[in-house]
Chains A and B, each alone.
Chain A
Amino acid sequence: EAGVVQSPRYKIIEKKQPVAFWCNPISGHNTLYWYRQNLGQGPELLIRYENEEAVDDSQLPKDRFSAERLKGVDSTLKIQPAELGDSAVYLCASSLEGHEQYFGPGTRLTVT
Protein backbone atom coordinates (compact mmCIF):
# COMPACT_ATOMS: atom_id res chain seq x y z
CA GLU A 1 0.00 0.00 0.00
CA ALA A 2 1.36 3.41 -0.95
CA GLY A 3 2.00 5.83 1.85
CA VAL A 4 1.36 9.56 2.00
CA VAL A 5 2.94 11.21 -1.01
CA GLN A 6 4.20 14.79 -0.98
CA SER A 7 5.78 16.95 -3.62
CA PRO A 8 8.08 18.63 -4.12
CA ARG A 9 10.52 17.23 -1.58
CA TYR A 10 12.62 20.37 -1.60
CA LYS A 11 11.89 23.94 -2.63
CA ILE A 12 14.07 27.04 -2.57
CA ILE A 13 12.43 30.37 -3.29
CA GLU A 14 13.12 34.03 -2.74
CA LYS A 15 11.08 35.94 -0.22
CA LYS A 16 7.84 37.46 -1.48
CA GLN A 17 7.45 34.67 -4.03
CA PRO A 18 4.50 32.23 -3.91
CA VAL A 19 4.93 28.52 -3.28
CA ALA A 20 2.62 25.51 -3.21
CA PHE A 21 2.90 22.06 -1.71
CA TRP A 22 0.91 19.03 -2.74
CA CYS A 23 -0.19 16.02 -0.72
CA ASN A 24 -1.84 12.75 -1.72
CA PRO A 25 -3.07 10.86 1.36
CA ILE A 26 -3.37 7.14 1.82
CA SER A 27 -6.31 5.80 -0.14
CA GLY A 28 -9.47 5.78 1.93
CA HIS A 29 -8.19 8.11 4.64
CA ASN A 30 -10.81 10.79 5.17
CA THR A 31 -8.78 12.98 7.53
CA LEU A 32 -5.83 15.01 6.28
CA TYR A 33 -3.44 17.17 8.29
CA TRP A 34 -0.84 19.78 7.41
CA TYR A 35 1.94 20.36 9.94
CA ARG A 36 4.87 22.76 9.99
CA GLN A 37 8.12 21.62 11.56
CA ASN A 38 10.62 24.34 12.32
CA LEU A 39 14.27 23.45 12.73
CA GLY A 40 14.88 21.77 16.07
CA GLN A 41 11.21 21.58 16.97
CA GLY A 42 8.35 19.15 16.78
CA PRO A 43 5.59 19.40 14.18
CA GLU A 44 2.79 21.89 14.81
CA LEU A 45 -0.64 21.47 13.27
CA LEU A 46 -1.62 24.08 10.70
CA ILE A 47 -4.91 22.72 9.43
CA ARG A 48 -7.01 19.57 9.59
CA TYR A 49 -9.54 18.38 7.02
CA GLU A 50 -12.40 15.97 7.47
CA ASN A 51 -13.12 14.97 3.88
CA GLU A 52 -13.22 18.29 2.04
CA GLU A 53 -14.08 20.43 5.06
CA ALA A 54 -11.44 22.31 7.03
CA VAL A 55 -12.51 21.62 10.61
CA ASP A 56 -9.54 23.15 12.42
CA ASP A 57 -7.52 25.95 10.84
CA SER A 58 -6.94 27.95 13.99
CA GLN A 59 -3.14 27.77 13.65
CA LEU A 60 -3.05 28.66 9.95
CA PRO A 61 -1.71 32.20 9.30
CA LYS A 62 -4.57 33.20 7.07
CA ASP A 63 -3.02 36.41 5.78
CA ARG A 64 -0.56 34.48 3.65
CA PHE A 65 -1.40 30.79 3.92
CA SER A 66 -4.25 28.99 2.20
CA ALA A 67 -5.18 25.37 1.75
CA GLU A 68 -7.70 23.36 -0.16
CA ARG A 69 -8.79 19.77 -0.42
CA LEU A 70 -10.96 19.46 -3.45
CA LYS A 71 -13.06 16.29 -3.68
CA GLY A 72 -11.79 15.24 -0.27
CA VAL A 73 -8.64 13.52 -1.54
CA ASP A 74 -5.54 15.48 -2.59
CA SER A 75 -4.66 18.69 -0.84
CA THR A 76 -2.62 21.78 -1.65
CA LEU A 77 -1.05 24.19 0.82
CA LYS A 78 -0.05 27.59 -0.53
CA ILE A 79 2.00 30.47 0.83
CA GLN A 80 1.80 33.86 -0.83
CA PRO A 81 3.96 35.79 -0.34
CA ALA A 82 6.62 33.75 1.43
CA GLU A 83 8.70 35.24 4.22
CA LEU A 84 12.08 34.23 5.59
CA GLY A 85 10.40 32.82 8.70
CA ASP A 86 8.43 30.36 6.61
CA SER A 87 11.52 28.23 6.08
CA ALA A 88 10.59 24.86 7.57
CA VAL A 89 9.56 21.34 6.72
CA TYR A 90 5.87 21.04 5.81
CA LEU A 91 4.48 17.64 6.67
CA CYS A 92 1.25 16.10 5.48
CA ALA A 93 -0.43 13.27 7.38
CA SER A 94 -3.60 11.29 6.93
CA SER A 95 -5.73 9.02 9.06
CA LEU A 96 -8.92 7.05 8.95
CA GLU A 97 -11.15 9.11 11.21
CA GLY A 98 -9.65 9.10 14.71
CA HIS A 99 -7.09 6.41 14.18
CA GLU A 100 -3.33 6.51 13.73
CA GLN A 101 -1.84 9.33 11.66
CA TYR A 102 0.52 8.37 8.85
CA PHE A 103 3.05 10.98 7.80
CA GLY A 104 4.53 11.80 4.43
CA PRO A 105 8.23 12.59 3.93
CA GLY A 106 7.63 16.34 3.98
CA THR A 107 8.62 19.29 1.83
CA ARG A 108 11.66 21.21 2.97
CA LEU A 109 11.15 24.89 2.15
CA THR A 110 14.00 27.36 2.15
CA VAL A 111 13.17 31.03 1.72
CA THR A 112 16.14 33.25 0.82
Chain B
Amino acid sequence: AQSVTQLGSHVSVSEGALVLLRCNYSSSVPPYLFWYVQYPNQGLQLLLKYTTGATLVKGINGFEAEFKKSETSFHLTKPSAHMSDAAEYFCAVRPFSGGYNKLIFGAGTRLAVHP
Protein backbone atom coordinates (compact mmCIF):
# COMPACT_ATOMS: atom_id res chain seq x y z
CA ALA B 1 0.00 0.00 0.00
CA GLN B 2 1.13 3.51 -0.73
CA SER B 3 2.23 5.67 2.17
CA VAL B 4 3.63 9.10 2.81
CA THR B 5 6.14 9.99 5.52
CA GLN B 6 6.75 13.54 6.63
CA LEU B 7 9.86 13.83 8.75
CA GLY B 8 9.37 16.22 11.63
CA SER B 9 5.93 16.97 12.97
CA HIS B 10 7.12 20.44 14.00
CA VAL B 11 9.63 22.71 12.28
CA SER B 12 10.63 26.12 13.59
CA VAL B 13 12.56 28.70 11.59
CA SER B 14 13.45 32.35 11.89
CA GLU B 15 11.87 34.89 9.62
CA GLY B 16 14.03 35.14 6.50
CA ALA B 17 15.56 31.69 6.94
CA LEU B 18 15.29 28.76 4.57
CA VAL B 19 12.25 26.55 4.94
CA LEU B 20 12.71 22.82 4.29
CA LEU B 21 9.86 20.38 4.88
CA ARG B 22 10.58 16.75 4.10
CA CYS B 23 8.35 14.22 2.39
CA ASN B 24 9.08 10.66 1.31
CA TYR B 25 6.67 8.30 -0.37
CA SER B 26 6.55 4.57 -0.89
CA SER B 27 5.59 3.44 -4.36
CA SER B 28 7.04 1.21 -7.00
CA VAL B 29 5.66 3.55 -9.64
CA PRO B 30 6.15 7.30 -9.18
CA PRO B 31 2.78 8.72 -8.20
CA TYR B 32 1.45 12.21 -8.60
CA LEU B 33 2.67 14.31 -5.65
CA PHE B 34 1.11 17.28 -3.89
CA TRP B 35 1.78 19.75 -1.13
CA TYR B 36 -1.15 21.35 0.68
CA VAL B 37 -1.17 24.09 3.32
CA GLN B 38 -3.75 24.40 6.08
CA TYR B 39 -4.13 27.62 8.04
CA PRO B 40 -5.91 27.51 11.42
CA ASN B 41 -9.59 26.73 11.11
CA GLN B 42 -9.42 26.57 7.34
CA GLY B 43 -9.48 23.85 4.73
CA LEU B 44 -6.53 22.62 2.74
CA GLN B 45 -5.16 24.75 -0.07
CA LEU B 46 -3.03 23.34 -2.87
CA LEU B 47 0.50 24.78 -2.89
CA LEU B 48 1.92 22.81 -5.80
CA LYS B 49 1.81 19.48 -7.56
CA TYR B 50 4.01 17.19 -9.61
CA THR B 51 2.50 15.00 -12.29
CA THR B 52 5.00 14.58 -15.11
CA GLY B 53 7.74 16.58 -16.77
CA ALA B 54 10.05 18.99 -14.97
CA THR B 55 11.03 17.66 -11.57
CA LEU B 56 11.34 21.10 -9.98
CA VAL B 57 7.89 22.44 -9.41
CA LYS B 58 7.08 26.00 -8.42
CA GLY B 59 3.97 26.80 -6.44
CA ILE B 60 2.24 29.69 -4.79
CA ASN B 61 3.68 31.97 -2.11
CA GLY B 62 7.28 31.34 -3.24
CA PHE B 63 7.31 27.63 -2.43
CA GLU B 64 8.85 24.99 -4.64
CA ALA B 65 9.46 21.26 -4.46
CA GLU B 66 11.71 18.85 -6.26
CA PHE B 67 10.73 15.33 -7.21
CA LYS B 68 13.65 12.93 -6.78
CA LYS B 69 12.76 9.48 -7.99
CA SER B 70 15.99 7.87 -6.75
CA GLU B 71 15.29 9.12 -3.23
CA THR B 72 11.47 8.74 -3.43
CA SER B 73 11.29 12.25 -2.05
CA PHE B 74 9.35 15.43 -2.71
CA HIS B 75 10.71 17.98 -0.24
CA LEU B 76 9.17 21.44 -0.01
CA THR B 77 11.38 24.52 0.20
CA LYS B 78 11.16 28.28 0.38
CA PRO B 79 14.30 30.44 0.36
CA SER B 80 13.08 32.99 2.88
CA ALA B 81 10.39 32.35 5.48
CA HIS B 82 7.72 34.91 6.20
CA MET B 83 5.60 35.15 9.31
CA SER B 84 2.52 34.43 7.20
CA ASP B 85 3.97 31.02 6.27
CA ALA B 86 3.17 29.69 9.74
CA ALA B 87 0.69 26.87 9.10
CA GLU B 88 0.43 23.11 8.78
CA TYR B 89 1.75 21.53 5.62
CA PHE B 90 0.66 18.20 4.20
CA CYS B 91 2.34 16.10 1.57
CA ALA B 92 0.05 13.81 -0.41
CA VAL B 93 0.32 11.22 -3.14
CA ARG B 94 -2.13 10.13 -5.77
CA PRO B 95 -1.41 6.54 -6.75
CA PHE B 96 -0.78 6.17 -10.43
CA SER B 97 -3.64 3.79 -10.95
CA GLY B 98 -5.36 5.87 -13.52
CA GLY B 99 -8.80 7.42 -13.35
CA TYR B 100 -9.15 7.64 -9.61
CA ASN B 101 -8.35 10.88 -7.85
CA LYS B 102 -7.57 9.35 -4.43
CA LEU B 103 -5.19 11.26 -2.19
CA ILE B 104 -3.13 9.68 0.58
CA PHE B 105 -1.85 12.25 3.05
CA GLY B 106 1.10 12.36 5.37
CA ALA B 107 0.64 13.25 9.01
CA GLY B 108 1.60 16.87 8.43
CA THR B 109 4.34 19.25 9.55
CA ARG B 110 3.52 22.30 11.60
CA LEU B 111 5.74 25.22 10.60
CA ALA B 112 6.41 27.95 13.11
CA VAL B 113 8.13 31.18 12.05
CA HIS B 114 9.59 33.39 14.75
CA PRO B 115 10.93 36.93 14.44
User: Which A residues have a C-beta under 8 Å from some C-beta of B?
Assistant: 3-4, 9, 31, 40-45, 48, 56, 91, 93, 95, 97-101, 103-106, 108
- Complex CA gap A48/B92 in Å reads 17
Q: Please, which residues of chain B bring their CB within 8 A of the CB of A93?
A: 43-44
Contact B101 A95 (CB under 8 A): yes
10 further A-B pairs in the complex, CB-CB below 8 A; given A99-B101, A101-B101, A103-B36 = A31-B101, A40-B107, A42-B4, A43-B105, A45-B102, A56-B102, A93-B44, A101-B46, A101-B103, A105-B41
Main DSSP-derived SS at the A contact region? loop
Give the contacting residue for B45; candidates A31, A45, A95, A103; CB below 8 A: A103
List, in ascending order, chain B residues with CB within 8 A of A42's CB: 4, 90, 92, 105-108
Residues of A within 8 A of B103 (CB): 43, 45, 101
